[in-house]
Amino acid sequence: MREQISTSSRKLDHLRICREHRVEAGFSGFSDVRLVHAALPECSLSEIDTGVRFLGHRFASPLFIAAMTGGHRDAIPINRNLALAAERFGIGMGVGSQRAALEDPELENSFAVAREAAPRAFLCANLGVVQLRDHGIEWAERAVEMIDAQAICIHANFLQEAIMPEGDHDARGCLEALTTLCREFTVPVILKETGAGVSGEVAGRIWAAGVSAIDIGGLGGTSWARVEAIRSPAGPSARLGERFSDWGIPTVVSLREMAGTGPVIATGGVRSGLDVAKGLALGADLCGMALPLLAPAMESEEAVENAIDGYTKELAVAMFLSGARTVKSMKKVRTWITGTTRQMIERIQEKPYGS
């Protein structure tokens, strides 16, 4: 019971901290990327088609609402506002970790509200890889059923766990649990990092486990090390969390490490429709945003819709100016990559993984 209360109240702390503090750290690499301008786009801005197919589903836009919340009654309006926007814009959405509701079914409505508000949208269930290992497929099944999900994100957050004194510090057996899930589950499984990125080597093992997609959740957006440092300023997490606040693989570098290896969602520091266009050109299929949608979701349905409408327009302008009428052609647009991001990518090429 103690753990049930702590999972739910920790989630509420996270919302408050992400809303009130500067929780971003490191760099995503997007500012080092430039799209090649098309002086003669030869298409009309009004006919830009942002539609995309992913895991057999059709999305009106590659912008994805990344997993954030649930597991507390204060999360109900947040998930409702996000889901209403997902339904209206025809985009996908992930709910936050469903652990709290799996421990205490009374909290299920804070997740189920998403399906009520978005009867047709692509919704992604969410479970930690450690909970998967410890509780098996039954928890994954219940998580999917709770929101009638089209896919499940299994999240890895070992940076955050390592910072928290009460975190799960034993990562053994997770890959095996993932492999078993992928083998025995009919719903697509997405392995999702939460802000520290996925390297080419690790991606190889994740694909071999049989996942349908990877959400790279790279460095440069919300830093869970920093969130934990802020959550317990007087505790041991404070110093450790700050020390590791920019630990990880920048989203753009992670994207380049695995471009072309399978369906990829780029999340972590995506801050505009222009970043979404850059993500597509670098090989992403969808681009996820969490933190930028939190404040609007805590405000109102209209605030979320305004935010997403703005990002969608930015994406359309970026596609138009790149001469890409469709997402398929946006993926072929050339990019220039400069600065530290370029240096990191060149280092990968000097020493390809497996060498």
Ligand X SMILES: Cc1cc2nc3c(=O)[nH]c(=O)nc-3n(C[C@H](O)[C@H](O)[C@H](O)COP(=O)(O)O)c2cc1C
Among 126, 212, 312, 322, binds ligand X (CB under 6 A): 126
Residue 65: CB minimum distance to ligand X, A: 9
- 3-state helix, strand and coil shares in percent for the chain, rounded to the nearest 5: 50, 15, 35
Site for ligand X in 78-97 (CB under 6 A): 96-97
> What is the identity of the amino acid at 33?
V
Cβ proximity to ligand X: between 52 and 68 the closer is 68
Residue 159: CB minimum distance to ligand X, A: 11
Residue 113: CB minimum distance to ligand X, A: 15
Binding of residue 291 to ligand X (CB under 6 A):
yes
Taking residues 168 to 207 in sequence order and writing x for each that binds ligand X by CB under 6 A, - otherwise, the string is ------------------------x-xx------------
Binding of residue 29 to ligand X (CB under 6 A):
no
Cβ proximity to ligand X: between 154 and 182 the closer is 154
292-328 as b/e, with b when 16 or more CB fall inside 10 Å?
A: bbbebbbeebebbbebbeebbebbbebbbbbbbbebe
Tokens of 287: 């681009």
Cβ proximity to ligand X: between 133 and 155 the closer is 155
Tokens of 236: 């041991």
Tokens of 161: 């766990």
User: Are the CB atoms for 107 and 74 separated by under 8 Å?
Assistant: no
Which string of DSSP letters, residue by residue, matches 274-330?
A: HHHHHHHHTT-SEEEE-HHHHHHHHH-HHHHHHHHHHHHHHHHHHHHHTT-SBHHHH
When CB distances to ligand X are compared, the closest residue is 221
Cβ proximity to ligand X: between 78 and 318 the closer is 78
Cβ proximity to ligand X: between 218 and 323 the closer is 218
Burial (CB count within 10 angstroms: exposed 0-12, middle 13-18, buried 19+), residue 197: buried
Q: Applying CB under 6 A, what is the total number of residues that bind ligand X? A: 26
Binding of residue 268 to ligand X (CB under 6 A):
yes
Radius of gyration of the chain (CA): 19
42-to-316, 327, 350 alpha-carbon distances in Å? 14, 16, 38
Cα angle, residue 73 at apex, residues 90 and 81 outer, rounded to 5°: 20
User: Are the CB atoms for 211 and 187 separated by under 8 Å?
Assistant: no
Binding of residue 279 to ligand X (CB under 6 A):
no
Among 8, 15, 79, 249, binds ligand X (CB under 6 A): 15
Among 25, 33, 48, 68, binds ligand X (CB under 6 A): 68
Binding of residue 212 to ligand X (CB under 6 A):
no
Cβ proximity to ligand X: between 254 and 322 the closer is 254
Cβ proximity to ligand X: between 50 and 222 the closer is 222
Cβ proximity to ligand X: between 188 and 269 the closer is 269
The footprint of ligand X (CB under 6 A) covers 14-15, 18, 66-69, 96-97, 126, 153, 155, 192, 194-195, 217, 221-222, 267-270, 289-291, 294
